[in-house]
Amino acid sequence: MVLALPDESFAAFDSGDTAWVLASAALVLLMTPGLAFFYGGLSRQKSVLNMMMMSFGALGVVSVIYVLWGYSMSFSSGHTGGSDIAGIFDNPFSLFGLSQLLETREIDGTELSVIGGFGTVPAIVWVGFQLTFAVITVALISGALAERVKFGTWLVFSGLWVTLVYFPLAHMVWGGGLLSDNERGFASWLFGTTEGDDGSVSATVAPIDFAGGTVVHINAGMAALVLAIIVGRRRNFGKMAFRPHNIPWVMLGAALLWFGWFGFNVGSEGAADAVSGLVWVNTTAATAAAMLGWLLVERIRDGHPTSVGAASGIVAGLVAITPACGALSPVGSLILGAIAGALSALAISLKYKFGYDDSLDVVGVHLVAGLWGTVAIGLFATETGLFYGGGIQQLVVQIVIAVVATVFTAVMTAIIALALKPMGWRVTDEDEATGIDETEHAETAYELA
């Protein structure tokens, strides 16, 4: 454990930026209960409480772990000045429990605080903002496991997965690791480095992930696919329709997610400035276009647009614009979103073709739209994108970071899932038939006379 941070970790904070990041953290935290409504509505009546509890359970487990060692694993070297471990993760014990981040120090007659990732907010505020991202990422995975997984195993998986998969990937992308613009990262290996005016060395073509396309959505989507395969399908999957029990809840959940996503994306700028305005507009444009794209596919394929399709299209658009929201123009965001909605609407049927039970379409929405949004930056980024005369380099970098993130998550998730098999993933067939709410939680969502 590091007992004293270097003077370089201390600076004056901007109260306006700090207020905005705190508000954004609250918005992102709201997304997890919003997701619980979204997933709960999509579930059948006998499993709705368990589905919602998986989101709330992730909120409990991940929050505790993040305070203890999660932030340290993700970002501690940026404070301590030490080296990370192979560009993959930081020392989990350097800032264990976060007490060092509460220190103040008088330098040149001015009392300064430990500064966090944006450079203008206290580190403890940055912790709160990043904690909410970790929580929602784990909660997203649960949608692939509806109606058949033991709650205790899910909680243990949540703790292991966030530690062994999420924190390392967060460090690799946002903490100066292998998927960042660090001189030791993949982007630097591909296209070399450039020295800045301050003497710092970084990748000539930096990877772009503004708010979590790789860290959150590709990560959660790939983990969901691996778990769906290893855990197995629900009883009667492919033989009967598993219909949403409460579509208004689905719409409410989508609304809360869209609202909270402004904290997710706009908050990732770390300030209330012109870039924040662009991110807000791009987020809205892509989301609206994705909803329409999804509904168009439904109209052509099925003959009618649906409420569930509109809600799912909203989420697909939010996912796709997440990594790209600071790099695109509003028109580019419209195109990105429309394609994301259409792709995800088509992708959700793949589970029937290939036989994996992605119960609530985490793979079709988060993995597919997350991959598209991450890679499409190489096409639509206004400064470096192929369609704007930037050449192919940004596209290559985006593809590489997407592939590396996908493979890393797949391998690590498979190891964790297989290691937990002796503990038992599945409830019994009898319990699944009765309803997981009653058998796992001794509750029912509705007491109907």
**Could you read off the pLDDT of 96-114 as tens digits, one per residue?**
999 999 999 988 889 999 9
On the question of pLDDT at 1 being above 80, the answer is: no
On the question of pLDDT at 61 being above 70, the answer is: yes
Q: Tell me the HSE value of 258 on the side-chain side, using a 13 A CA sphere.
A: 24
Nearest to 153 by CA among 39, 50, 29, 34: 50
- Cα separation of 343 and 348, whole Å? 9
Average pLDDT, the chain: 96
Residue 343 CA, distance from chain mean position: 19
Rounded to an integer, the average pLDDT of 206-224 is 98
| CA-to-CA dists, residue 349 to 180, 338, 364, angstroms | 34, 18, 8
Rounded to an integer, the average pLDDT of 151-167 is 98
Report the pLDDT value the prediction gives residue 241, as an integer from 0 to 100: 82
Would you place residue 4 in the very low, low, confident or very high pLDDT band (cuts 50, 70, 90)?
confident
| CA-to-CA dists, residue 21 to 80, 145, 282, 314, angstroms | 23, 33, 19, 24
Report the pLDDT value the prediction gives residue 109, as an integer from 0 to 100: 86
Kindly compute the dihedral angle of the four CA atoms of residues 175, 178, 184, 186, in this order, to the nearest 10 degrees: -140
Place of tokens 């949403």: 244
* Tokens of residue 346, six digits: 């088509």
Least confident segment among 58-62, 163-167, 198-202, 258-262: 198-202
Least confident segment among 103-107, 265-269, 385-389, 428-432: 103-107
Would you place residue 220 in the very low, low, confident or very high pLDDT band (cuts 50, 70, 90)?
very high
- Classified as helix, coil or strand, 201 is strand
Report the pLDDT value the prediction gives residue 233, as an integer from 0 to 100: 96
Rounded to an integer, the average pLDDT of 203-222 is 97
Report the pLDDT value the prediction gives residue 107, as an integer from 0 to 100: 87
- Cα separation of 437 and 176, whole Å? 43
Report the pLDDT value the prediction gives residue 125, as an integer from 0 to 100: 97
pLDDT tens, 298-313? 999 999 999 999 999 9
On the question of pLDDT at 130 being above 70, the answer is: yes
On the question of pLDDT at 449 being above 80, the answer is: no
Q: What domains lie within the chain, and their CATH numbers?
A: 9-178 (1.10.3430.10), 207-240+273-435 (1.10.3430.10)
On the question of pLDDT at 196 being above 90, the answer is: no
- Residue 97 phi, psi dihedral angles, 5° rounding: 85, -10
